[in-house]
């Protein structure tokens, strides 16, 4: 291709870039409207993980259908930054991380978020429990009991949700959501009780306990009624489903 042809293509790219900037600005103004509508409620958490995961699923399905010349990971990363910028616009959300989860937290919540790094998982959890407008990104193997309305609302990284050996962290906090039939339930159980839990998949374990995902949207009361104190509810979330052979 000669320089004239290449120059014309670059001009087309510049036009598209300008259009994308205008669309991002229009989106940002709408986010401002959302923020103003919530301004009178200081306890309102801006994070909506169930809505976000539905957006990520739509992107994955679009990517599989259109087969664009870029990987799904790149597409999701762009959208995670857009979502993260919108969360920062609404203000007040603090993301608590510890050393080994810092990079996963930043990948998921974006560079615009406010982060506080802690020396240990327990420190991150305590800081999160002390502030209802904060979340914690903790190692997958962390053992804990949710407090109040808090619970696990995501497993990271979202693109490797079906490859359990690559799962590395959990997102925890008092995040509002309604149970949906697409969600799984995260729970902890003693190894001796594991065989009693129906439709359970182990995602982490130590010498005495296992972290399990149950293929049903169960709340804490339902877990307690069905299994008693031997199985502890930890949270609910959606998983990202990617087509076989889809470029990641």
Q: What is the pLDDT of residues 100-147, one digit of tens each?
A: 899 999 999 999 999 999 999 999 999 999 998 899 999 988 778 898
User: Between 95 and 195, where is the model more confident?
Assistant: 95
Nearest Cα to Cα of residue 237 among 203, 204, 213, 202: 213
Taking residues 50-79, report their average pLDDT: 95
pTM value is 0.91
pLDDT at 40: 66
**pLDDT tens, position by position, 162-190:** 545 555 899 999 998 889 999 999 999 99
β pairing state of 184-190 and 231-237: antiparallel
Cα–Cα distance measured from residue 227 to residue 106, given in angstroms and rounded to the nearest whole number: 36
Cα–Cα distance measured from residue 211 to residue 202, given in angstroms and rounded to the nearest whole number: 6
Cα–Cα distance measured from residue 150 to residue 133, given in angstroms and rounded to the nearest whole number: 11
Nearest Cα to Cα of residue 89 among 21, 31, 22: 31
Quote the tokens at residue 27.
């989106």
**pLDDT tens, position by position, 198-242:** 889 998 888 899 999 999 999 999 999 999 988 999 999 999 999
Q: Where are the beta strands (DSSP E) in the chain?
A: 94-98, 114-118, 134-139, 151-156, 169-173, 184-190, 200-205, 209-214, 231-237
pLDDT at 166: 56
């Amino acid at each position: 291709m000669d320089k004239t042809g290449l120059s014309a293509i670059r001009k087309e790219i510049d036009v598209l870039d300008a259009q994308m900037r205008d669309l991002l600005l229009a989106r940002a103004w709408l986010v401002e409207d959302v923020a103003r509508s919530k301004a009178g409620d200081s306890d309102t958490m801006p994070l909506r993980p169930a809505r976000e995961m539905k957006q990520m699923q739509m992107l994955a399905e679009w990517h599989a259908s259109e087969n664009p010349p870029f990987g799904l990971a790149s597409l999701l990363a762009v959208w995670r930054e857009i979502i993260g910028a919108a969360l920062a616009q609404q203000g007040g959300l603090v993301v608590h991380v510890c050393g080994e989860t810092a990079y996963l937290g930043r990948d998921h919540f974006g560079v615009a978020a406010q982060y506080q790094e802690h020396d240990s998982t327990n420190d991150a959890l305590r800081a999160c429990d002390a502030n209802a407008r904060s979340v914690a990104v903790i190692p997958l193997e962390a053992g804990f009991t949710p407090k109040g309305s808090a619970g696990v609302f995501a497993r990271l990284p979202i693109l490797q949700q079906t490859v359990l050996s690559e799962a590395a962290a959990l997102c925890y906090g008092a995040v509002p959501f309604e149970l949906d039939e697409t969600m799984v339930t995260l729970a902890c159980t003693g190894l001796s009780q594991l065989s009693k839990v129906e439709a359970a998949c182990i995602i982490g374990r130590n010498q005495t306990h296992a972290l399990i995902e149950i293929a049903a949207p169960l709340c804490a009361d339902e877990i307690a009624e069905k299994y008693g104190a031997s199985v502890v509810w930890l949270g609910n979330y959606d998983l990202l489903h990617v087509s076989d052979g889809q470029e990641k």
